[in-house]
Amino acid sequence: MRHLNLGMRHADTGAVVRCLSTGGSVISAQPVQKFGNNPVDVRDTDHYTEEYVPSFVEKWDSLIDWDRRSESEGTFFIDMLRERGVKKVLDVATGTGFHSVRLLEAGFETVSADGSGEMLAQAFANGLKHGDHILRVVQADWRWLNRDAHGEYDAIVCLGNSFTHLFSERDRRKALAEFYAMLKHDGILVLDQRNYDAILDRGYSSKHVYYYCGEDVAVEPEYVDEGLVRMRYSFPDESVYHLNMFPLRKDYTRRLMQEVGFQRIETYGDFQHTYRTERPDFFIHVAEKEYIAADEQTGPAAPATGDGEYAGAVGTARDYYNSSDADAFYWHVWGGEDIHIGIYDRPDEPIAEASRRTVARMAGKLDLTESSVVLDLGSGFGGSARYLAETYGCRVVALNLSEVENERHRALNAERGLTEAIEVLDGSFERIPLPDNSVDVVWSQDAFLHSGNRARPLEEAARVLRPGGHLIFTDPMAADGCPAETLRPILDRIHLETMGSPGFYRHELARLGFTAVGGGFQEHREQLITHYARVLEETRRQEADGLTEHVSADYLTHMKKGLSNWVDGGTNRHVTWGIFHFTR
């Protein structure tokens, strides 16, 4: 790949544009797209250079429609970069220059890179056309970006669904690692993609509002499978072009970013953060490089404002519960407001009724009053918090790691007039953002399971409890003495290496100075079996009634397997569940 330093002098532009547009030593123009005898077999990262032939590139701007795209996108990217203090940007998927030009107009120092010389030629011409900007362009392959481009950047933007040109996971990891390396220590990567989850699971649809806004161009997938989406672009002159792209699933993309090293990742749908009940056409991931060291994450009252604290198992749980699939599944199937194991009077009882009975049974063990302060760890959608506030008049602080669940929680509180009674905090129970001796009750339901260090939330509970305060919680656990290998199907499903057990919790609570109330632990293993069986039954029933409109088929397949594993584990006495009650 060749580095093209175009400089900043108008006198240079004519020669540069001629060189880029006529081929020369920089570009090998391909007059016709070539996919061979079987186009759906073309699944190679390097093939994109042959797909962006000159005649297709010439039509690209009519596909985008710069004016309509500017209107639909607004100032989303500009505002986001300014809020983070960004000054220097590397646009690694320049295309015909839409975002590079907008970034330059907004005052950002911008370098424009692309793997297609044809695209760069058009981008350079567009820079002159739209505001007399002279783009600094680099023809570069992302997998060797540090070789072809130079310097450190506050932000790298990879837009226009471009990352889906990479067909192997090795290439994707390599490209992300190159992006990471070129960012400053606190830099950000902004990467977008089509909503391939929806295309794969439910078929193609488009609002035709974002990204490809041209009204006289027809865009649709011609072929779709888990390894290829072949897009067809039809223009008014009856010309037709294709692009072969890899259908990246949203959560897979987020996971790759995390594994490369990005610590905080926010995902937007069609420029909105609260898109969970919608079906966006595009996802936008904003990944932050900033490293938060372990010693910076400690401290009893440190605010839970960054994602750096969501490490290991807790980080995995957060990503899971933030996913649109999990959010929809737990709301529609698991029980609505209460997303924990229920206590059933009969096997066919509605899940929501049994789940609420668990809340009432636990609350009945406490002497709550209007002056009580309850801390709910892993509060989910807030069903327990609302029950406690409405039934006893107490104040509840609800700490939960899923911002998506917390949004729904706050909205439901507002509907019920409980905003003042319940404070919803984004954060981890491994680092509770409250001072010592500040609450009367620590309450948790089926949440400690997700900690990679389950002693830590117990230590935090001991710290924030006032003398004489109560700790009451439930958790799905391994049975005492159960060999770890028998739990492997369950552990693999929930991405954990171990589980707690009744003996583990008793030992840790005794170490921390807690005293058992009424024996300390009431085991209800049979309720675990009944609950997971009911959820599995309800999943199958709703699936037959169109649940895949809300939850992907792939998610449901894995969920049904996971639920079956829990039922088998309970039946074989490998796992158990119950209510712990201790005082300090």
pLDDT band for position 206 (cuts 50, 70, 90): low
Give 207's pLDDT tier (boundaries 50, 70, 90): low
Pick the closest to residue 162 from 260, 104, 94, 208 (CA basis).
94
pLDDT on residue 136: 95
pLDDT in tens, 329-357: 888 888 788 989 999 999 899 999 999 99
Confidence band of 318 (pLDDT split at 50, 70, 90): low
pTM above 0.85, yes or no: no
Is it the case that residue 292 has pLDDT exceeding 60?
Answer: no
pLDDT band at 444 (very low <50, low <70, confident <90, very high): very high
Return all residues near 479 (Cβ < 8 A) that are at least 6 apart.
501, 502, 525, 573, 574, 575, 576
Mean pLDDT of the chain: 85
With vertex at residue 339, the alpha carbon angle to CA 336 and CA 340, rounded to the nearest 5 degrees, is 145
Which residue segments constitute the domains of the chain, with CATH numbers given?
47-288 (3.40.50.150), 315-583 (3.40.50.150)
- Looking at per-residue pLDDT, the higher value among 397 and 554 belongs to 397
Least confident piece of the model among 61-70, 431-440, 551-560? 61-70
Which of the four pLDDT bands, split at 50, 70 and 90, describes residue 24?
Answer: very low
**In the numeric block, which tokens belong to residue 95?**
């295309």
* 555 vs 539: CA distance, rounded Å: 11
pLDDT value, residue 37: 92
Give the model confidence (pLDDT) of 457-516 as tens digits: 999 999 999 999 999 999 999 999 988 778 888 887 776 778 899 999 999 999 999 999
pLDDT of residue 110: 97
The CA-based angle 319-312-289, given to 5 degrees, is: 75
Residue 513 · residue 323 · CB < 8 Å = no
* Tokens, residue 345: 């009077």
Query: Per residue in 58-73, pLDDT tens?
Result: 888 888 777 888 887 8
